[in-house]
Amino acid sequence: MIAPGSTVKLTYREAMREAMREAMQRDERVFLMGEDVGRYGGCFAVSLGLLEEFGPERIRDTPLSESAFVGAGIGAALAGMRPIVEIMTVNFSLLALDQIMNNAATLLHMSGGQCNVPLVIRMTTGAGRQVAAQHSHSLEGWYAHIPGLRILTPATVEDARGMLWPALDDPDPVLIFEHGGLYNTSAEISESPGAVDIDRAAVRRVGRDLTLLTYGGMLPVTLAAADELAAAGVEAEVVDLRTLRPLDDETIVESVRRTHRAVVIDEGWRSGSIAAEISTRIMEYAFYDLDAPVERVCTAEVPIPYAKHLEEAALPSAATVVAAAQRTLGRA
Amino acid sequence: MSGAIEHDDALALLRAMVRIRRFEERCVELYSAARIRGFVHLYIGEEAVAAGVLDALTADDDIVATYREHGHALVRGVSARSIMAEMYGVQEGCSRGRGGSMHLFDVEHRFFGGNAIVGGGLPIAVGLALARSMQAREGVVACFFGEGAVAEGEFHECMNLAALWRLPVLFCCENNLYAMGTALARSESEPDLVLKASSYEMPAWPVDGMDVIAVRDGARRAIEGIRAGGGPHFLELRTYRFRAHSMYDPERYRDKNEVEQWKARDPIPAFVERCAVTTDELAVIEREAANEVDDAVAFAEAGTPEPVTDLTRFVTSEPGRT
CATH of the domain at A152: 3.40.50.970
Domain co-membership, A20 together with A50: yes
Asked if A99 has any chain B CB less than 8 Å from its own CB, the reply is: yes
pLDDT at B2: 60
- Same domain? A299 vs A176: no
Residues A227 and A136 in one domain: no
A260 is catalytic: no
| Closest chain B C-alpha to A7 CA, distance in angstroms | 32
Which residues from chain A sit within 8 angstroms of residue B153, using beta carbons? Answer: 67
Residue of B83, B117, B130, B321 best to disrupt the A interface, most CBs of A under 10 A: B130
- Looking at the fold, whether A11 and A100 belong to one and the same domain comes out as yes
Say which CATH number the domain at A235 has: 3.40.50.920
Q: What percent of chain A has pLDDT over 70?
A: 98
Tell me, yes or no, whether A197 lies in a domain: no
CB within 8 Å of A268: residues ≥ 6 apart: A138, A139, A140, A141, A142, A274, A275, A298, A299
A135 in active site:
yes
Work out the minimum CA distance from B140 to partner chain A, whole angstroms. 13
Ramachandran quadrant class, A311 (left: phi over 0; alpha: psi -120 to 50; beta: rest): alpha
Confidence band of B321 (pLDDT split at 50, 70, 90): confident
Domains of chain B: 7-310 (3.40.50.970)
Look at chain A and report how many structural domains it folds into: 2
**Residues B288-297, mean pLDDT to the nearest whole number:** 98
Question: Per-residue confidence at A1, pLDDT binned at 50, 70, 90?
Answer: very low
Contact with chain A for residue B264, Cβ under 8 A: no
> Is the CB of residue A172 less than 8 Å away from at least one CB of chain B?
yes
pLDDT tens track for A274-285: 999 999 999 999
Q: Which of residues 110-129 of B touch A (CB under 8 A)?
A: 112-113, 115, 117, 120, 122-129
Tell me which chain A residues have a C-beta less than 8 angstroms from the C-beta of B313: 113
Q: Does residue A105 share a domain with residue A73?
A: yes
Among A135, A277, A295, A311, the one annotated catalytic: A135
**Residues A228 and A146 placed together within one structural domain of the fold:** no
Q: Are residues A126 and A224 in the same domain?
A: no
Is A186 among the domain residues?
Answer: yes
Burial B117-144 (b: 16+ CB within 10 A, else e): bbbbbbbbbbbbbbbbebeeeebbbbbb
Question: Does the distance separating the beta carbons of A112 and B135 come in below 8 Å?
Answer: no
B195 touches chain A (CB under 8 A): no
Distance in angstroms (rounded) separating the CA atoms of residues B296 and A146: 35
Question: Per the confidence metrics, is the pTM higher than 0.80?
Answer: yes
- CA dihedral (A276, A280, A283, A286) in degrees, to 10, reads -100
- The answer to whether position A166 is within a domain reads yes
Interface membership of B1 toward A (CB under 8 Å) = no
> What is the structure's pLDDT at B36?
94
Q: What is the pLDDT of residue A3?
A: 61
Distance CA B303, CA B301 (A): 5
Taking an 8 Å cut-off on Cβ atoms, the answer to whether B135 and A147 are in contact is no
Task: Give the pairing of strands A210-214 and A262-269.
Answer: parallel
Residue A232 domain flag = yes
Is the ipTM above a cut-off of 0.90?
yes
Range of the domain at A134: 7-190
pLDDT band at B77 (very low <50, low <70, confident <90, very high): very high
Residues A171 and A210 in one domain: no
Residues A154 and A255 in one domain: no
Q: Is residue A2 part of a domain?
A: no
Which of the residue ranges A21-25, A29-33, A212-216, B37-41 would you say has the lowest mean pLDDT? B37-41
Mean pLDDT for the stretch of residues B127-143: 97
- Residue B125 confidence (pLDDT) above 60: yes
**Other Cβ atoms closer than 10 A to B193:** 20
